A and B are shown apart, each in its own frame.
Chain A
Amino acid sequence: MKPAADRSLRIDGATAATVEFRFDGRRVVGRPGESIAAALWAAGIRTLRRSPGRGAPRGMFCNVGVCQECVVSVEGRRRPACTTTVSPGLDVVSIAADSDTAA
């Protein structure tokens, strides 16, 4: 069952999402100070990369920078999406199944 895109997963509406960045070219808006993984999760985007072998979808698992499941390419450098903070204009790219270097 797909995450319901019509109902926000955000609990606390105190802070507006105002930070615009790109994920695989798509425009995403996050809250100031939140992680890339959190902003994408709230936007209903949970597949952050493809596994090197089977190309299976992978996403955020530990949310504290330990497991490396959510590693993405941020401005050309590999970073865990869960511990990298969003900033305006940030270019975030998922790591493809056949990639063995930073995208």
Chain B
Amino acid sequence: MNASYDVIVIGAGPAGAEAAATAAGLGLATLVLDEAPAAGGLVYRAPDAGLTALEPEGNALRTRLAGSGATAAFEHRVWHVARIESAAERPARFEVSAVGPAGVVTVHAAALIVATGVVERCYPRPGWTLPGVIGLGAATVMLKAQRMLPGRRVVVAGPGPLAPLVANLILQGGGKVVAMIDPNPLSRWFGAVPGVAKRPGLAAQGGSWLARLVVKGVPAHRGWDVRTINGRDGVESVTLGPVDGKWRPVPGAPERTVEADAVCLGYGLTPAAEIYRLLGMSGYARLDYRLTDAGDAYLLEANPNPQIAKDEDFAQSARHAGITYPELIQQLMHFGMTYKPTRMIY
């Protein structure tokens, strides 16, 4: 690793790895940093040594990055990012510090690309800290990359397509899904899930996963959620009950308790925006709109646009609008470079 680069990319998921390979291909000295032992992020998580990747796209991405000439520093966790203003003969630059297997490293670059993706949302409830309760993201890593079951009798809970994916992987691996829980009725799938359901392709895929679960006779509870997770030293059972449209328990409604040895739950994805905040960034966001049943548009949320990779819905929407992927990226960069904030929100 050198002391300085033309470009530093933080995050080697689909977007970051693609950005690093592209920058290196343009002849720029490029460093990409990631916490994981290999590129791929959560979507194309690399399998543990000796195991086979379930998704060939991840292998293609890793091969492309490895052959691009970019320096990749894996198992490096970034803990400091700052912009250093120009002084005397030194131009403005970014400073990035990370801790890796050999200790702390500090590197500089003229340009910084932040591709830190998303983190899973989880809500606290009684028993959620018991060993054996894991996130849906954790479960996908376990099932796809580590080739291991979360348990033998598993409760899978959460709105959107990730839960049926996890449930199917458990069934394929020889485990049993004792309850499949979705706090939403199916009709609200698109509107109510942050992150995941913004990808219509994934939602359609989720539909086929759901269909498979029905065929396999997995008990499904729609409009229900996990109330409490019970056990002394780990998960022993899970109490379920109906929730209202805002996922609040319906008082006095009948509950059900099922024996289980593991619980996988997750309630959507939210952007990992720490570095944007550290740098006081503003001026560009993706605004997500939804339609009510009556056809009225409303603003769901503003995102720092975590899903910007070529095969994600944002780039696909642009393609439908006649904007190629390079044009889209150039437009975004041009907008970012020329925008002059009049007021900082932070």
Contacts and interface: CB of A to CB of B under 8 A. Distances in A.
Contact of A9 (B52, B130, B134, B148): B148
Contacts of B9: none
B210 to A, nearest CB: 22
Contact of A64 (B42, B48, B143, B152): B42
Interface string A22-47: 00000000011111001001100011
Nearest to A38: B146
Nearest to A32: B49
Given A32-B49, A38-B48, A62 B138 contact: yes
B48 A31 contact: yes
B129 A31 contact: no
Interface stretch (B80-88, B181-189, B232-240, B306-314): B232-240
Interface in B153-197: 153, 172-174
Interface size class of B (residues with CB under 8 A): 35 or more
Nearest to A15: B50
A31 B48 CA distance: 9
A3 B234 contact: yes
A42 B120 CA distance: 24
B95 interface: no
Contacts of A48: 131
B279 to A, nearest CB: 20
Nearest to B51: A12
Contacts of A82: 138
A3 B147 contact: no
B133 interface: yes
Given A34-B48, A57-B234, A12 B147 contact: yes
A31 B134 contact: no
A46 B261 CA distance: 11
A11 B132 contact: no
Nearest to B142: A63
Interface in A37-71: 38, 41-42, 46-48, 51, 56-66, 69
A72 to B, nearest CB: 13
3 cross-chain pairs, A with B, having the tightest CB-CB distances, nearest first: A33-B49, A59-B131, A63-B138
Interface of B: 35-37, 42, 48-52, 75, 77, 119-120, 129-135, 137-139, 141-143, 146-153, 172-174, 233-237, 259-262
